[in-house]
Amino acid sequence: MSERSVAALIVEQLEKAGVHHCYGIVGDTLNDITDAMSRSTVDWVHVRHEEVAGFAAGAEALMTDRLTACAGSCGPGGLHFINGLFESHRNRAPVILLASQISRELLGNDFPQEVDFLSIYRNCSVFCEQILTADQAPAVIRRACQAALTQRGVAVVVIPVDISKAKTEAVTQTIWHPHPQLLPNPDELDIIAALLNQGKRITLYAGAGCEGAHDALVTLAEKLNAPIVNTSRGKDFVEYNNPFSVGMTGIFGCEAGFEAIKQCDVLLLLGADFAWSQFYPDNATIIQIDQEATHLGRRHPIAFGAVGRITDTLAALLPRIHQHSDDRFLHTILHLREKSVHRRLKEEQRATGQPIHPQYLVSLLNRYAEQDALFTADGGSAMVWLLRHIDSLGTRRTLTSLLHGTMANAMPQAIGLQVAFPQRQVIALCGDGGLSMLLGDLFTLMQEALPIKLVVINNGSLNFVELEQKIEGLLDHYTKLKNDNFAKVAGAIGLYSQKVIEAETLEQAVIRFLAHPGPALLDVHTHPNELVMPPEVSLKQLTDTALYAAKAVFHGRLSDVAQLVGSEISQKLGK
């Protein structure tokens, strides 16, 4: 049996696991692995910051359901992945990190660039081990790949450089990725059916676990005369071609979604793990079905919980459900939904003046983007406008940082999506603060020839943080950003770019921008006081916002108060 390097064996093992791309930055302790990769079918994607590699790999892995790799050198190179990998792990994306390390004989002596990767990455991974001997390499890589694929998360393999260089006669191992059926037992299904059949005002709350269950979900709602509320992560799988869909609840949601949950007497949670307990019903029978037993009842007390994949479970549950005849609750909620849609359309039609209303901007993207476009959005207000004003259509996909809550994810995730889907249009809604954080990877768009469309919602502030401060009755501190012209920066790098400050010119600018064949950036100066309002405004929020206004006046910031009063909040709080 012929010998070869462990580095070559590792790359061959990744090929067997179905890895198409590896994102990262080359470096000394990684050189043997990248050299082996250059002769393989795994394509290297050269980013400018390892954090971007973590985000990009996670986006590809999540949307393709395919193991995706990233790799970095020892010390600082390996550390830079941490935020991108926390995001990927919380999204349950099957990613493997190859964290190269200094030689084993130098470990434990505070050698330059020595970092204990195992203690750091165990907090954001389903597998985290170091290869100790050359012959151990295939088993460790196999276990890492299988853990990432079957447990849905990040696997980290630490590889000392002397191990990478070592020779071995070991052979690669088969990667197993089974897809078992998963559903409650018959007795549990009977209990769930009985609770639903007895209910009068039933609401279905559908989360990301409803992927692939759209038609069965609609059939269940039709039988129960039940409105369907979706979580933000369930948007793509629920809202399209769905006469029972009434939107979201929570701060990003609408009145219809809020009331559908608050007024129901039975709430069925389907693959939903919505974290904010104040938005759950006060006096309802709550049933929860989830793939993870640990999720049952962890957000709010429930009456009954069962483990099951939603597609499998609904197929077994539907024959047990009786047809409900009373549709009064459903029509009450659908009437509220009509009001919410009318309000959304009114917001989207504010097409004059400056600064530009972000709802109008995103409505234009929704209108002119391709039917199967892929959208990303930075955390903060960009995320809200994406969720509220982009229609999924059943063919589009949306991705934003809903679990990790970071603010610089849109462009890096767009890189991963464009690499994975080179023929599809990829649009990133970037906050001006978020894009600034990882601005250097604009060069990656040019280097890798990625025709990503970056839209900068440029409101001159860390807008979501500023709004949080005002709603809490605080003066806004340290949130202002001075970034007048991202278009000039992008143009200098080689991207097609344009700055837009007037709403009257925006539509044609969006059309030209989306039609450009290569990477492009549209710098849109939007209203800094466009508030993200929850479906229910509390008395405390009213009081605290008034307190902010009083403080601002006392500190000589009368113009800020005038802008706030002139914004949408004055209309919504006064309704």
- pLDDT, tens digit, for every residue of 221-247? 999 999 999 999 999 999 999 999 999
Say what the pLDDT of residue 560 is. 55
Closest CA relative to residue 430, chosen from 77, 53, 55, 63: 55
Q: Quick one: which H or E segment has residue 156? A: strand 154-160
pLDDT band for 265, please (50, 70, 90 cuts).
Answer: very high
Cβ within 8 Å of residue 93, ≥6 positions away: 57, 58, 59, 61, 62, 68, 152, 153, 154
- pLDDT, tens digit, for every residue of 51-78? 999 999 999 999 999 999 999 999 999 9
The pLDDT of residue 557 is above 80 = no
Residue type, 421: F
- pLDDT, tens digit, for every residue of 95-120? 999 999 999 999 888 888 889 999 99
- pLDDT, tens digit, for every residue of 267-286? 999 999 999 888 999 899 99
Residue type, 82: I
3-state secondary structure 259-296: HHHHCCCEEEEECCCCCCHHHCCCCCEEEEEECCHHHC
d(CA 141, CA 99) in angstroms, rounded, equals 12
Say what the pLDDT of residue 287 is. 98
Q: How large a percentage of the chain has pLDDT more than 70?
A: 89
pTM of the model: 0.91
d(CA 119, CA 125) in angstroms, rounded, equals 11
Closest CA relative to residue 370, chosen from 340, 393, 337: 393
CA angle 52, 55, 57 (to 5 degrees): 105
pLDDT band for 197, please (50, 70, 90 cuts).
Answer: very high
Eight-class DSSP state of 535: S
Cβ within 8 Å of residue 130, ≥6 positions away: 101, 117, 118, 157, 158, 159, 160
Say what the pLDDT of residue 568 is. 43
Say what the pLDDT of residue 464 is. 66
For tokens 């505070």, name the residue: 110
Say what the pLDDT of residue 51 is. 98
Say what the pLDDT of residue 343 is. 85
| Contact predicate 312/182, CB 8 Å | yes
For residue 361 the two structure tokens come to: 């901007």
- pLDDT, tens digit, for every residue of 157-189? 999 999 999 999 989 889 988 889 999 999 999
Say what the pLDDT of residue 397 is. 98
CA angle 106, 140, 22 (to 5 degrees): 85
Q: Quick one: which H or E segment has residue 243? A: none
